[in-house]
Every structure is written in structure tokens, then in C-alpha cells.
């Protein structure tokens, strides 16, 4: 009787096979059937008269033939996949006969199948019936068990009748009840008797060894079979079902009750059990051996189909008659009873079986059945979901959630989430949402809901475990997770997420806008690559400078001067020293900081799993330090300095430091230099305006020094504008000085009524700008106050004007008389001095005229004498060499005499043009008497230089006399125009052409 632990179902549909008309008493006639086999889409029936009938799928007799002339066919086997049929006929007066038939090769004369081979099975001529028979699929080996306990193995080529050998491989005092082959790396023959189970290796490693007993308990006839899928031997006993492998018992399934026949059908085990009432009072050995009782024909049998793996009964029923045979074909299981009835058992579809299980709420069985049948995962998930719904209705929420989690791949998440939105079931909801993220099925809404659940429970540990899950695959929507962490106040977690996925801008957003960790944000920026660092620095420049002025300014300087190096970090681990002094040894390694400390702003990934004990110890002994990088700066395009100016709004001191540092850079273009210098000059003046006394002077001096630099590129108009706006007079002064606008400088002082400044400018620029004195004269006498402030400076100006002739006396009088400020007493000295000088000059001019007239009269008289009177030469020595004159000699009218040979003395140029005092000499040399020959004019070497000067002056006068534009320009520029006209008149400008 089956144990209560086995659940019973009706997974098979039963129907009695209706034979075709005319066949009702034919193939399954009572008392005529001795054995049945199936295969190759046919059923084969052996009869007591040695005839074999072949039934088609329609259960019509497709053929029959006389297989044996003597005895009845007790064993029949069809070789699967072939047309071979094996039959064994027994006649106790003779040894059994085995034949192999080729059903596809009929004899030409009779039409019966061809007999491939015939073999007499030896059993030592002992008249015992065959109790078990087994054969390999290729018929290379067959085994026959007898009632006397002997087993004969037949080897050979029975298909082609090439001979066969027989050998008795096993003998026992107990009758053989079952024989089965198990093929694998070795071929094993399992032998069952009424008292034990043995196995014997008949092919492969271990062949030739005696049979090994697996268990000292046997089984009845027909109660052993082989599972061809696992190659295990299945034995049915009254107490249980046993599975044996090569090494012994493998598993046992308790199922009580007598068993008469077993068979493997698909994944099931089919059992035929006689009623217990029929076995009472019968010897057990007789029941085990299967003795024939005529009264069993009218008794009932129990037919059971078991799934031993899942421990349920797939079908069970009581049969009205004993079972003669059980076989499977066409995907169905068939049972032939002694009364000639044939029943078909057709397995229900998988969905039908599921519906049966659903009706009984046996979802766990349905799941096990689906998994065993290797059902598609999506179909399995349907079962899980139904099971979850059932458990949810029973309010077993935890188990229900486990089912929903298993069905997560094929379940609409909203169907589950709605059921667990209640606060009391929030933990189940968290489990489901976490699993959604693990399967990458979560949407941004699911992430939002999960993080809200964490926040509701204030479960920071679970939150961190969620966002720090190992692996590179992102299981949730990053932006949503970061946004929810920020909204819930979990700023460190938000920064961690952003950093882990290289969302640098989000990291800095969180650190600045949420956590207000400005120093950490700046440190994080300083660890980024140049492009990312620049973008984030410019975005938060004003905030960073406000809270970290020095470090932020330093970062700006490094970046804008081309020396930016991303910072790195190191962990210094202090290991306990084995020395007695108890000192510590520090070892430094640049490594992944997040493996040690969860600092969101550091240049690392973060902790992804709980720390081990060794890591925790390392943390306690470590310290993070910033390492210096002496390598070359990063390569990037340095931005224009102007782009950083707006970042320093309201931070003038830091701005000045930045500008000063940038000016020192060697990589500036001219445009950048102009921007930097101009802005720095403006900042100096702006800062100075906010200071007092010495501080103001200090900043103004910086501005002045900047302008006085050798190559400052500040535009003049900008300097003037800024200096005027900031009331920085030194700036305008310096610009005008550099531009040579000294008169403008003086005028700026006079416009501002700054008399002392005007006096300083006059003293400084007056020597180079004489026109300042007339302007100063007009300014000093413009008002009584200014005149009083000027003091003695008026006399100095008048004296300078008088000494340098900057103004005519009449002009001075006109200037002083304009405002009526100056009195005659103030200029009395100037007037008396001027009049006296004029008088002296007139007298001098008269004396000079008289001298010129006297000289002119004397020169004219001398010229007349030379032209009209003979000249007497009395010189006795040569004017060139100083020796006594000897002939030939040359005399000049200027009273100089020379040897003729001395006229060629080096240094004397005898060919220069004369001045009327030359002598004529014959060409080629002659004597002093002027012998015949060509003459040339020779000039006195002593007087030649003076004569040349006079001629040059004369020539210049003649040339300039013809250039009237020079005369007009000179008159226009001259202050003493009358004197200029007189001068040019002497040069002959006004002379009449052709008149001396």
C-alpha cells in the first residue's frame, strides 16, 4: 500500500483499445498469447503454437508467420530502430531455441521473414524454464536466466549468422528472476535472484572477475528493469523501490505493497501490484518466482504510475483482471490483461497537469514538475507567480515574495508592487525592488521608490549596500539615484555614486550645493584632468574663491599659467616596528584610496564590499597625505586670462594676486598682456581708493611702478580714462610724459588751479619745452591769488623769457596787461633791463656796420692795385719747403713763392680752383720765363683752403637764393622776423637776377 506521503493525481487518460471489426477475438485471444513486445511502430505477439503476429498502429494484424515448429514462444524482443526480431521458444523436453528474424527480408517462396540465425541455448541439458532474458541493442551479447539459477551469455554475430559462443557466467541455488544489461564505459550484467542482486562485468575493464553481490535481497520475476537514461537498475520489492548503480545501492523510494511487474515509461515507473488478499496464505517464495495460479485470471490488480523523483502518483487504478503484459509504443503505455483486453494510457498535456495541480493549490508540485520537465523559464515563472498569488491570499507575505522574486523576469513589476505598498510590508517591497535592480529591470520610478523606502526606514546601511553593489554594471538609473539621495539628505552617498561613475560635475554639485564642503570640492577639482577641472572650476569659481580664497586662487594661477598638474594622494601606513624602542615605520604607496576610506571627493573608486579584518587594521594604521608631483605639467590649451576675470568679482585682493602671477608667465600673447596690465592697473587704483594715507600711497606706487615699466602694454587712452575716473593724477602725468605731452601736463595743473604743481611741471619740463614759460606767465598773472601763490616765480619766468628771447617785450607787456593783475612795479626791473639791452644792441650794430664799411673800402682798394699796378716779388725762400728759391720758381699775387717742383709736394693740391691769385704754368713743365707750351691755372697752396671756403659760401648763397620756400618757412618759424629777412637779404634772396 502506498504511503500517505505520495500525492496521487490522474495525469493519464485511460481508454480500452477497440479492435477493428473482425479482430475482436483474434490477436488477444485468451490462452493463446504467451509474450508481447513492441517497437518500430508495431506490436509483436508470441503464441503457444510458435506463431508470431504483427499488429499495426490500427491494431490490425499486419502479418504473421510460424517462427518455431516446436514449443511455445516465451521470449520475444524487437531491436529498436531495426527490422530485427528475436524469438525464443521453449519445450521442456528439449533445450530452448533462439532465432533472429529479418522482417524486411521476406522469403521469395513463402513470403515469411528471413531467419538470420538459429541457436540452441545451452543449460547443461537441465529441464528448467527460462525466467529472464536480456539483449544488447546490436545483439552482440544476449543473456538468458533459468529457473535453476544459471545464467548463459551468448556472444557473436547473430545478425549475419557468423557463429556465436555460449558460456554459463553465473550459477546460483536460487532461481533467476531478472537480467538486465547496463552499457557505459563498461558493459555490466545485473542478475537478480529471489535472494540477492549481483552484477557482473562482461565487457571492458574488470571483465573475467566473478559476480559481485550488491545486496543480499532479491526480487520477484518481472520486478527488475533498467533505466536507460541513467543506466541504473530499478528493483521493486514489497517495501520500496530500489535504484542500483555499478557500485551499489544509490537511492530508495519507500512504497509499500506487493509488486508483480515494473516497467520504465518516460520519466515514470509503472507498477503492477496484485491485491493483498490474493497473496495471503501463499508461500513467499512462490509469489516471488511467479507461480501460475488459474484463479488469478478473475482477480483484480492494481496499476500504478509513479514519479519517484517528485514523489507523486501520476495514475492509479484497479484492474478487473490480472495483467499479462505491459509495453509502450506510439508515445503511450499499454496493458494487456489475461482476459484479452488492451488498455491505452495516454499522458495528459503539461498544461492539463498544471491545471489539475492549480485546482488543488499544489503549486510546489507544479514547480518541481516544471523544473524536472525542463520547462521554459518564462513558463516556470508563471507558476511561481500563481504560487505567489496563492500565498499572498493566505497572508503568507514573506513566502509569497520569495515566489514573486523567482518569477521576476516575466512579471509586470507593478502587479507585485501594488500589493506591498502597505507600510507593514515595506521590507518585502524592498526585497522585490532590490531584485528588480539586480536583474536590470528597474526603471527610474522603481529606483525612486526603493530609495524612498530606505529613507522611510532610515536604513543607511542598506542604502550604502545598494549603491555600492560590486560590479561595473549599473543596476539602476544613475541620475534618479543621485537625485533621490540628495533629496533625502544622503549627500555622501550621492557624491559616491557620482564619483564611481565619473560624473565629476555631479560630485562637485553635491559637495558644494548640498554638503557645503568647499575645501573637498576644490580638492576634487584639483584631481581632475585639465578639461574637466576647467569646466567645474569656472562653474563654481565665485563660491570657491569666497570660501577657499588662497587655494582657489592658487589653482587659478596654476591653470592659467600652464603649470596645472592633477594632484594625487598617497596612503601612509604605519606598521608596528619590531624594535624595542617601539618606533613605527611608515611605508607610502599611491593606491586606490577608496579601498581604505570612503571619501567621496578623492580620486578613486569607493568601497564596494565590506572590509576584511586586515583592511580594517590597515585603516587604523594609515593616514592620507597629498603627494607632490614633480613631473611635467599636463598638456592642455591654456585659456585666455580674461575668461577668469569675472570669477574674482568682490574679491579684489585675490584678483590682484592672480593678475600679478599671470603677468609673470612667459607664454602670454600681446593681447593677453594688454588685458592683464590694464586690469591690474585698474585694480591697483580701485584698491587704493579704498585705503587711506600710507596704504593708499602704497597701492598708488604700485600703479605708478606698473606704468613706469619698460614694456607695459597699457593703451594710453585706458590709462588716462582710469586715472581720471580714480582721480589718479600721477597716471595722467606719466602718460603725457611718455607721450611727450609736457605742455598738456602743465595745462592740467593750471586747469586745476594747482599753482605748486604748475611750478613743479615748469621746472621739470621748462628746459625742454620753452613755450611753457609764456604759458606760465599768462597763468601766474591770471588772478591775484595765483600771483600770490607764484611769488618770486614770476621774476624767474620773466628772466627766462628775456634770456632766451622767448617773447618780444611788446608781447610780454600785452600778456601782462590782459587781466590787469600785474603792476608796473612788478616788471620795472624787466623793462629797464630790456631797454638797456636794446640800446646796447643798437650801439653794437652801429659799430659793426662801421667796421664792415671800413673793411670793404680797404679790400676794394687792394683789388684795384692788383689789377692796375705791377707786383714786386721779393721772397727769397720757398713757402712750401723753406729753402732758398732757385729757378724755376712760381710767384703768386698773394706774395707766396714756391719752387716749381714744390707745387707737387704731397698735400698741396695745385689743381684746385684759384681765387685770382694764381699763376699760369706751361703744361709739361717750363722755366720761369714762360717758355712756349700749354699753360694751366695753378692756385696758391697756402691760400687754397680759405678760397675754397669763400667759394662754397658763395655757392650756397646762390642756391638758397633760388629756393624761396626755405625763406618763407624760416620767416614763419622765426620770432625775429626782421632779423630773418635781413639775414636772407644778405644771402641774395632779394637780389635782382644778373645784378651783383
d(CA 17, CA 19): 6
Q: Is the N-terminal amide bond of 893 cis, ω within 30° of 0?
A: no
Q: Rounded to the nearest 10 degrees, how much is the dihedral formed by the CA atoms of 217, 221, 223, 226?
A: 100
Q: What is the CATH number of domain 348-411?
A: 1.25.40
Residue pair 673/665 in contact (Cβ under 8 Å)? The answer is no
d(CA 580, CA 272): 86
Grid coordinates representing 75? 521470449
Grid coordinates representing 914? 684759384
d(CA 558, CA 538): 14
**Residue 334 per-residue DSSP state:** E
DSSP string spanning 495-551? HHHHHHTT-HHHHHHIIIIIS--HHHHHHHHTTS-HHHHHHHHHHTHHHHHHHSHHH
Grid coordinates representing 346? 495516454
* pLDDT at residue number 714: 62
d(CA 203, CA 209): 11
d(CA 757, CA 754): 5
Please name the residues in contact with 778: beta carbons below 8 A apart, sequence gap of 6 or more: 815, 818
Helix, strand or coil for residue 957? helix
- List phi, psi (to 5°) of 759: -65, -40
**Secondary structure E strands in 611-738:** 622-627
d(CA 562, CA 257): 94
* pLDDT at residue number 464: 80
Tally Cβ neighbours within 10 Å of residue 716: 13
Which residue from 304, 148, 290 is spatially nearest to 222, judged by alpha carbons?
Answer: 290
In this structure, the strands spanning 94-106 and 12-16 are unpaired
In this structure, the strands spanning 141-146 and 268-273 are unpaired
* pLDDT at residue number 144: 95
Domain extents in the chain? 348-411, 669-739, 748-837
* pLDDT at residue number 920: 42
* pLDDT at residue number 240: 93
Q: Which residue has the cell 585603516?
A: 619
H/E stretch holding 402 reads helix 397-406
List Cα–Cα distances, 948 to 206, 806, 945, 962, in angstroms. Answer: 147, 37, 5, 22
* pLDDT at residue number 996: 42
- List phi, psi (to 5°) of 76: -145, 140
Residues (pLDDT < 70) of the chain are: 1-4, 22-26, 30-31, 276-299, 470-474, 569-631, 703-704, 706-749, 751-752, 760-761, 764-768, 803-804, 820, 823-826, 904-936, 975-977, 986-996
Bridge partners, residue 265, by sequence = 268
d(CA 691, CA 701): 13
Tally Cβ neighbours within 10 Å of residue 141: 20
* pLDDT at residue number 612: 43
Residue pair 491/510 in contact (Cβ under 8 Å)? The answer is yes
pLDDT digits (tens, 9 = 90+) for 806-857: 777 777 777 777 776 776 666 777 778 888 888 888 888 888 889 989 988 9
Where do the H-state alpha helices sit in 726-823?
Answer: 729-738, 742-751, 755-765, 772-780, 784-790, 793-804, 809-816
* pLDDT at residue number 732: 54
* pLDDT at residue number 74: 92
d(CA 267, CA 309): 9
Cα 574 to chain centroid, rounded = 34
pLDDT digits (tens, 9 = 90+) for 914-926: 333 444 444 333 3
* pLDDT at residue number 488: 81
Residue pair 250/241 in contact (Cβ under 8 Å)? The answer is no
984-992's contacts with Cβ under 8 Å and 24+ in sequence apart are 984/960, 987/957, 987/960, 987/961, 988/957, 988/958, 988/961, 989/960, 989/961, 989/964, 991/961
Q: Which residue has the cell 699760369?
A: 920
Helix, strand or coil for residue 839? helix
**Residue 884 per-residue DSSP state:** B
Residue pair 883/905 in contact (Cβ under 8 Å)? The answer is no
**Residue 676 per-residue DSSP state:** H
Quickly count helices (H) and strands (E) in the chain: 33, 36
What is the chain's length?
Answer: 996
d(CA 307, CA 270): 9
Verdict on whether the full-model pTM lies above 0.85: no
Grid coordinates representing 144? 538468458
Residue pair 181/191 in contact (Cβ under 8 Å)? The answer is no
Amino acid at each position: 500500500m502506498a504511503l500517505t506521503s505520495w500525492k496521487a493525481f490522474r495525469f493519464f487518460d485511460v481508454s480500452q483499445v477497440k479492435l477493428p471489426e473482425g479482430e475482436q477475438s483474434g490477436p488477444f485471444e485468451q490462452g493463446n498469447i504467451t509474450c508481447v513486445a513492441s517497437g518500430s511502430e508495431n506490436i509483436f505477439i508470441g503464441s503457444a503454437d510458435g506463431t508470431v503476429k504483427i499488429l499495426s498502429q490500427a491494431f490490425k494484424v499486419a502479418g504473421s508467420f510460424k517462427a518455431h515448429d516446436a514449443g511455445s514462444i516465451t521470449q520475444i524482443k524487437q531491436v529498436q530502430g531495426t527490422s530485427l526480431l528475436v524469438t525464443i521458444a521453449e519445450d521442456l523436453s528439449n533445450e530452448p531455441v533462439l532465432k533472429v528474424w529479418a522482417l524486411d527480408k521476406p522469403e521469395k517462396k513463402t513470403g515469411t521473414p528471413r531467419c538470420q540465425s538459429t541457436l540452441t541455448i545451452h543449460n547443461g541439458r537441465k529441464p528448467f524454464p527460462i525466467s529472464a532474458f536480456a539483449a544488447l541493442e546490436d545483439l552482440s551479447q544476449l543473456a538468458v536466466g533459468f529457473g535453476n539459477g544459471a545464467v548463459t551469455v551468448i556472444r557473436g554475430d547473430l545478425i549475419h549468422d557468423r557463429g556465436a559462443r555460449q558460456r554459463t557466467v553465473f550459477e546460483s541455488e536460487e532461481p533467476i528472476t531478472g537480467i538486465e544489461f547496463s552499457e557505459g564505459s563498461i558493459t555490466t550484467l545485473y542478475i537478480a535472484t529471489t535472494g540477492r542482486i549481483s552484477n557482473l562485468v562482461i565487457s571492458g575493464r574488470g571483465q573475467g572477475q566473478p559476480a559481485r553481490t550488491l545486496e543480499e535481497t532479491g526480487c520477484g520475476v518481472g520486478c527488475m528493469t533498467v533505466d536507460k537514461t541513467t543506466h541504473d537498475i530499478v528493483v521493486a520489492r514489497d517495501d520500496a523501490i530500489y535504484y542500483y548503480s555499478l557500485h551499489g545501492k544509490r537511492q530508495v523510494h519507500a512504497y509499500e505493497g506487493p509488486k508483480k511487474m515494473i516497467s520504465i515509461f518516460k520519466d515514470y515507473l509503472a507498477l503492477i501490484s496484485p491485491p493483498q488478499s490474493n497473496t495471503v496464505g501463499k508461500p513467499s517464495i512462490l509469489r516471488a518466482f511467479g507461480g501460475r495460479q488459474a484463479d488469478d485470471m478473475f482477480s483484480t490488480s492494481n496499476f500504478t504510475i509513479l514519479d519517484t523523483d517528485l514523489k507523486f502518483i501520476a495514475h492509479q487504478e484497479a484492474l478487473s483482471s490480472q495483467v499479462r503484459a505491459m509495453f509502450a509504443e506510439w508515445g503511450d503505455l499499454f496493458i494487456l490483461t489475461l482476459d484479452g483486453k488492451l488498455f491505452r494510457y495516454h499522458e495528459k498535456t503539461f498544461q492539463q497537469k498544471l491545471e489539475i495541480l492549480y485546482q488543488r493549490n499544489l503549486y510546489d508540485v507544479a514547480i518541481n514538475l516544471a523544473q524536472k520537465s525542463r520547462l521554459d523559464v518564462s513558463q516556470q515563472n508563471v507558476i511561481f507567480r500563481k504560487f505567489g498569488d496563492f500565498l499572498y491570499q493566505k497572508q503568507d507575505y514573506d513566502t509569497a515574495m520569495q515566489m514573486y522574486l523567482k518569477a521576476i523576469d516575466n512579471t509586470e513589476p507593478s502587479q507585485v508592487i501594488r500589493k506591498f505598498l502597505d507600510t507593514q510590508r515595506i521590507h518585502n517591497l524592498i526585497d522585490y525592488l532590490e531584485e528588480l535592480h539586480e536583474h536590470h529591470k528597474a526603471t527610474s520610478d522603481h529606483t525612486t521608490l526603493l530609495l524612498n523606502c530606505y529613507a522611510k526606514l532610515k536604513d543607511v546601511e542598506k542604502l550604502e549596500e545598494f549603491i555600492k553593489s560590486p560590479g561595473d554594471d549599473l543596476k539602476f538609473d544613475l541620475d534618479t539615484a543621485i537625485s533621490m539621495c540628495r533629496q533625502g539628505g544622503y549627500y555622501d552617498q550621492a557624491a559616491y555614486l557620482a564619483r564611481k561613475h565619473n560624473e565629476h560635475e555631479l560630485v562637485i554639485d553635491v559637495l558644494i550645493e548640498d554638503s557645503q564642503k568647499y575645501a573637498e570640492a576644490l580638492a576634487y577639482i584639483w584631481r581632475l584632468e585639465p578639461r574637466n577641472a576647467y569646466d567645474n572650476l569656472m562653474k563654481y569659481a565665485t563660491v570657491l574663491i569666497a570660501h577657499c580664497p588662497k587655494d582657489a586662487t592658487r589653482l587659478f594661477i596654476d591653470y592659467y599659467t600652464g603649470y596645472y598638474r592633477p594632484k594625487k594622494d598617497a596612503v601612509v601606513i604605519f606598521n608596528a616596528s619590531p624594535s624595542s624602542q617601539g618606533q613605527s615605520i611608515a611605508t607610502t604607496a599611491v593606491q586606490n584610496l577608496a579601498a581604505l576610506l570612503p571619501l567621496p571627493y578623492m580620486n578613486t573608486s569607493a568601497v564596494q564590499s565590506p572590509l576584511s579584518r586586515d583592511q580594517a587594521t590597515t585603516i587604523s594604521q594609515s593616514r592620507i597625505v597629498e603627494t607632490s608631483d614633480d613631473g611635467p605639467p599636463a598638456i592642455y590649451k591654456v585659456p585666455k586670462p580674461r575668461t577668469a576675470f569675472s570669477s574674482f568679482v568682490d574679491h579684489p585682493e585675490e584678483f590682484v594676486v592672480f593678475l600679478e602671477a599671470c603677468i609673470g608667465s612667459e607664454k602670454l600673447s600681446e593681447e593677453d598682456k594688454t588685458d592683464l596690465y590694464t586690469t591690474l592697473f585698474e585694480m591697483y587704483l580701485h584698491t587704493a581708493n579704498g585705503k587711506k594715507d600710507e596704504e593708499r600711497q602704497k597701492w598708488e606706487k604700485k600703479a605708478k611702478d606698473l606704468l613706469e615699466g619698460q614694456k607695459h602694454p597699457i593703451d594710453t587712452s585706458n590709462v588716462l580714462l582710469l586715472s581720471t575716473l580714480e582721480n589718479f593724477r600721477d597716471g595722467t602725468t606719466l602718460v603725457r610724459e611718455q607721450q611727450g605731452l609736457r605742455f598738456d601736463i602743465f595745462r592740467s595743473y593750471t586747469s586745476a588751479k594747482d599753482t605748486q604743481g604748475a611750478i613743479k611741471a615748469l621746472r621739470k619740463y621748462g628746459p625742454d619745452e620753452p613755450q611753457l614759460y609764456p604759458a606760465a606767465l599768462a597763468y601766474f598773472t591770471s588772478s591775484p591769488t595765483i600771483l600770490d601763490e607764484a611769488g618770486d616765480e614770476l621774476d624767474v619766468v620773466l628772466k627766462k623769457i628775456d634770456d632766451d628771447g622767448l617773447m618780444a617785450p611788446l608781447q610780454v607787456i600785452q600778456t601782462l596787461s590782459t587781466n590787469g593783475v600785474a603792476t608796473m612795479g612788478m616788471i620795472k626791473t624787466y623793462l629797464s633791463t630790456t631797454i638797456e639791452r636794446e640800446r646796447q644792441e643798437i650801439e653794437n650794430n652801429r659799430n659793426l656796420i662801421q667796421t664792415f664799411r671800413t673793411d670793404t673800402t680797404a679790400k676794394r682798394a687792394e683789388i684795384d692795385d692788383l689789377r692796375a699796378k705791377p707786383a714786386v716779388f721779393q721772397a727769397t725762400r720757398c713757402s712750401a719747403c723753406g729753402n732758398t728759391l732757385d729757378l724755376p720758381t712760381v710767384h703768386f699775387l698773394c706774395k707766396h713763392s714756391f719752387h716749381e717742383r714744390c707745387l707737387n709736394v704731397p698735400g698741396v693740391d695745385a689743381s684746385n680752383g684759384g681765387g685770382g691769385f694764381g699763376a699760369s704754368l706751361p703744361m709739361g713743365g717750363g722755366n720761369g720765363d714762360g717758355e712756349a707750351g700749354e699753360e694751366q691755372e695753378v692756385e696758391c697752396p697756402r691760400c687754397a683752403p680759405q678760397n675754397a671756403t669763400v667759394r662754397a659760401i658763395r655757392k650756397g648763397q646762390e642756391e638758397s637764393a633760388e629756393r624761396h620756400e626755405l625763406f618763407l618757412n624760416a620767416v614763419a618759424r622765426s620770432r625775429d622776423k626782421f632779423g630773418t629777412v635781413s639775414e636772407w637779404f644778405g644771402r641774395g634772396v632779394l637780389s635782382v637776377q644778373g645784378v651783383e
